[in-house]
Amino acid sequence: MSTHSPRGVGHLRGDQPFPEAAKVALANPQLRRNLQHATTTIRGKSGRVIAELPDWQELRAAGSALKAYTMGNLPRLLEQLEEKVTAAGGVVHWAADANEANRIVTDLVHQTGETRVIKVKSMATQEIGLNEALEAAGITPVETDLAELIVQLGKDKPSHILVPAIHRNRSEIREIFLREMPGVDPELTDEPTELAAAARRYLRETFLSTKVAVSGANFAIAETGTLAVVESEGNGRMCLTLPDTLITVMGIEKLVPAWTDLEVFLQLLPRASTGERMNPYTSMWTGVTPGDGPQNFHLVLLDNGRTAVLADEVGRSALHCIRCSACLNVCPVYERTGGHAYGSVYPGPIGAVLSPQLTGIKDNPSLPYASSLCGACFDACPVMIDIPSILVHLRNQAPHPRTEKAVMAAAAYTMDRPRLYARAQKAARLSKLLGKRGRGLPPPLHGWAASRDLPEPPPETFRDWWRGR
């Protein structure tokens, strides 16, 4: 039986519905300026490097086909991965949900006797609320990705998949460092190189003195049992090589069947995400190697609602996502509201289709409406996920208010009966009120018209025109 992500743990559900949270975000002009600047810059960079590849569309099609094949063969491929990781000296753990995954990781850290872990950016661990679970168990997690560190020190939440602190500008970052970073120079300015150097000093000391690391994974190769993390700061490389124990938490959908499949994804991902031809650091490891790198490796395979998503024929392609964030950077809704309004660790168009499926639509009913259905996300997605179709599919599943249901039932009844429909059209034409914005409908329907222009009824219906001829 497939189940959804449990309530009360992790970060897939917001405190407010999207429309209310979006109103708060829209009232913040600084946030909109930061977002507009960042998304425009990334879009431009990404567009230029994508244009260099004559076979970009073929690569997208290959990425999409590989992911569809993986989802169709997931149980077999996961067992193959487990077998290969185990043969290479790793230990595989299966976590049905966030609670189980948190328990497994916490127990593993306790077994090492350590009370601090370093982390390389991992959406899966944010999804399950691992940091909170570790802290509750007396273990201090230290984020090592610069943007994640800014978010953690600022006691904030990430607002972008790739650039979690996209909502902060450099003077805000300086204030956070001065307030929260141990041993920071009080003369610190807001020059990016100085801010980066301050973070480097703090992190280097932490890297060298911490024995346990927790990571995510961008890809896992079933054929070889190899895990891969791609990143651009080198913090991932430090986390994956320096500690004695490495614990990787990975959503079960991150699998690819064969080593050669990486050829496709390692071309798609950096170009679509950061606008780079190749990502600066690609770290790969298979189990443990005596005398080199972590000597204890644990892989936690996380479900947390994914098999429920897989069971939905339309919605399952959301699991093809490689978290490049291209759909966020082109989305007109995301660009104005930012990521916090989505209430989930997965913001933007992919969050609007993934979060409601992982939690069940009842827990996130407003997210499928956080889109204008313009289709820009579909065009930008490097693995061709048809996000607009999934949004419409989920809107159909979302609970609808009773009034809306009654109006739709009445409309269906009327449209089914030609004479009644003709009379209704005539009535609508007579009532000039319909064309007036916000006043075109009586309560409780007036809210629907408050932000929409009702179309003017045409002076002549098709039937009148036909009869006239």
- Tell me which residues touch ligand SF4 (CB under 6 A): 321-327, 350, 380-383, 385
* 184: alpha, beta or left? (left if phi > 0; alpha if psi -120 to 50): beta
Nearer to ligand SF4, 38 or 326 (CB): 326
Strands laid side by side in the 140-143 sheet:
91-95, 296-302, 245-251, 212-215, 116-119, 140-143
DSSP of 301-363: EE-TTHHHHHT-TTGGGGGG-----HHHHH-HHHHHH-SGGG-SSS-HHHHHHHHHHHH-GGG
Name the residue nearer to ligand SF4 (CB basis): 249 or 269.
269
Nearer to ligand SF4 (CB atom), residue 326 or residue 345? 326
- For residue 400, the one-letter residue type is H
- Residue 289 DSSP symbol: B
Tokens of 101: 């995954």
Query: How far apart, in whole angstroms, are the C-alpha atoms of residue 239 and residue 297?
Result: 12
- Shortest distance, CB of residue 101 to ligand SF4, whole angstroms? 22
3-class DSSP assignment, residue 457 = coil
CB of 4 to ligand SF4, least distance (A): 20
Question: In terms of Cα–Cα distance, which of 212, 2, 218, 9 is closest to 100?
Answer: 9
Count of residues in the chain: 469
13 secondary structure, DSSP code: S
Least CB distance from residue 10 to ligand SF4, whole Å? 19
At its nearest, how many Å lie between ligand SF4 and the CB of residue 176? 27
User: Minimal distance in Å, beta carbon 173 to ligand SF4?
Assistant: 24
Nearer to ligand SF4, 99 or 317 (CB): 317
- Nearer Cβ to ligand SF4, position 77 or 331? 331
Nearer to ligand SF4, 249 or 353 (CB): 353
What's the min distance (Å) between Cβ of 272 and ligand SF4?
Answer: 6
Rank residues 46 and 80 by Cβ distance to ligand SF4 and give the closer one: 46
H or E stretch including 31? helix 29-51
Supply 99's token pair: 């609670």
Of residues 195 and 383, the one with the C-beta less far from ligand SF4:
383
Beta-strand pair 116-119/140-143? parallel
User: In the bound complex, what is the minimum distance in angstroms from residue 64's beta carbon to ligand SF4?
Assistant: 10
CB of 40 to ligand SF4, least distance (A): 17
